[in-house]
């Protein structure tokens, strides 16, 4: 639930207290260039203000005066580790519009003056420039911070002594939160203490440290993941190089195979041309020989026809010849003609067989 945070705001010694004065004081923050707190939004720093408006020098002077007065009322010397200043951090209610924050924080400052006395409240600085998201490890979620204030209080008792234990008490914490709750409900109609269970007790500084640690852990995991990716990438590059070399060898073998195929194709085309030429020559030769055979056959047929005609004429003549001697002579001539005809027929058949065998052998020689 919402409440004023006291934890983490105990400053020991002047150096520590004044360092926080410098950090919180509005004018000092406006003059600072790059701030160590990376969550400060410089574009919103102009919205910051101090309720009283004391400068850094005025705060230091008021602090020194208060500590000196407290020393007069103390029976013993102030210890080196004594808490000389308290830092109270107050967050605006989540439902409070930002334009009403200045008025609300001014009234909270007034409540603190009534509770701790004007002489002990140095100032209240309201910061609008630290509104951001941060990781809360206790809640395990991102939390959106709100406008908040820092009030510096000198822990002096009613009799003037410096005693943090008597000021920082449970009763004062409950009383302060109760007064702020009453004022918030009556004047703004909302709650300061919402009644929600408080999930964490860490200060803003501790939560920021946890956020930073979580970010560093995430960065470490990212580096490890990056290293793993780099290692895998190196292995992939190595495999890619090996595959590239193998691919290059395969390409070389492919090129050689292509060259062999080209040579074979050239050889086939060359033999095909020879075959075509031989086939053409052979066809021409066969055509010529066929014509020659045809002429011989026609000539023989003509001769045979003439022989047959002559034979008929001779036989017709023989029928008119009465002398046996003449008939015998004519028959001899006829038989000689028949024998000559048989010889010519045999010669023609032998020639045709020779030409046919030669053609068959030529056809076998071309069939490759």
Q: Where are the domains of the chain?
A: 10-202, 276-366
| Exposure string over 21-39, b if 16+ CB within 10 A, otherwise e | bebbbbeebeeeeeeeeee
For range 228-232, the mean pLDDT: 83
Range scoring the smallest mean pLDDT among 145-149, 201-205, 335-339? 201-205
- The alpha carbon dihedral of 311, 317, 322, 324 has a sign of negative
Distance of CA 125 to CAs 113, 114, 145, 157, Å? 14, 18, 16, 23
CATH number of 10-202: 3.30.930.30
213-244 b/e with 16+ CB inside 10 Å = b? Answer: eeeeeeeeeeeeeeeeeeeeeeeeeeeeeeee
Q: What is the pLDDT of residues 121-176, one digit of tens each?
A: 999 999 998 876 655 555 556 666 789 999 999 999 988 899 999 999 999 999 99
**Tens digits of residue pLDDT in 164-190:** 999 999 999 999 999 999 999 999 999
Q: Is the pTM of this model over 0.75?
A: no
3-state secondary structure of 325: helix
Asked if pLDDT for residue 191 goes beyond 60, the answer is yes
């Amino acid at each position: 639930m919402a409440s004023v945070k006291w934890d983490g705001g105990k400053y020991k010694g002047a150096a520590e207290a004044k360092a926080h004065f410098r950090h919180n004081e509005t004018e000092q923050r406006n003059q600072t260039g790059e701030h160590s707190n990376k969550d400060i939004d410089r574009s919103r720093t102009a919205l910051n203000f101090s309720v009283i408006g004391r400068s850094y020098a005025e705060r230091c002077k008021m602090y020194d005066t208060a500590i000196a007065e407290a020393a007069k009322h103390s029976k013993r010397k102030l210890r080196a580790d004594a808490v000389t200043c308290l830092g109270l951090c107050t967050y605006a209610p989540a439902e409070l519009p930002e334009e009403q924050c200045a008025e609300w924080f001014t009234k909270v400052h007034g409540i603190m003056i009534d509770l701790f006395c004007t002489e002990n409240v140095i100032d209240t600085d309201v910061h609008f420039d630290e509104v951001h998201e941060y990781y809360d490890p206790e809640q395990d979620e991102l939390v959106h911070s709100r406008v908040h204030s820092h009030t510096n209080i000198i822990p002096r008792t009613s009799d003037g002594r410096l005693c943090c234990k008597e000021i920082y008490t449970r009763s004062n914490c409950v009383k302060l939160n109760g007064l702020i709750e009453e004022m918030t409900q009556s004047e703004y109609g909302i709650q300061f203490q919402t009644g929600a269970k408080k999930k964490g007790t860490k200060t803003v500084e501790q939560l920021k440290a946890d956020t930073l640690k979580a970010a560093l852990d995430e960065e470490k995991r990212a580096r490890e993941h990056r290293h793993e990716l780099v290692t895998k990438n190196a292995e992939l590059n190595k495999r890619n190089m090996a595959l590239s070399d193998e691919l290059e060898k395969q390409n070389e073998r492919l090129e050689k195979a292509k060259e062999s195929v080209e040579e074979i194709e050239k050889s086939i085309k060359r033999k095909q041309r020879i075959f075509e030429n031989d086939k053409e020559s052979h066809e021409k030769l066969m055509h010529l020989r066929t014509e020659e055979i045809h002429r011989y056959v026609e000539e023989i047929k003509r001769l045979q026809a003439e022989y047959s005609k002559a034979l008929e004429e001779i036989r017709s003549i023989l029928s008119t010849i009465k002398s046996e001697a003449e008939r015998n002579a004519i028959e001899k001539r006829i038989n000689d003609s028949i024998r000559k005809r048989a010889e010519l027929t045999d010669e023609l058949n032998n020639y045709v067989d020779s030409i046919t065998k030669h053609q068959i052998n030529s056809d076998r020689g071309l069939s490759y």
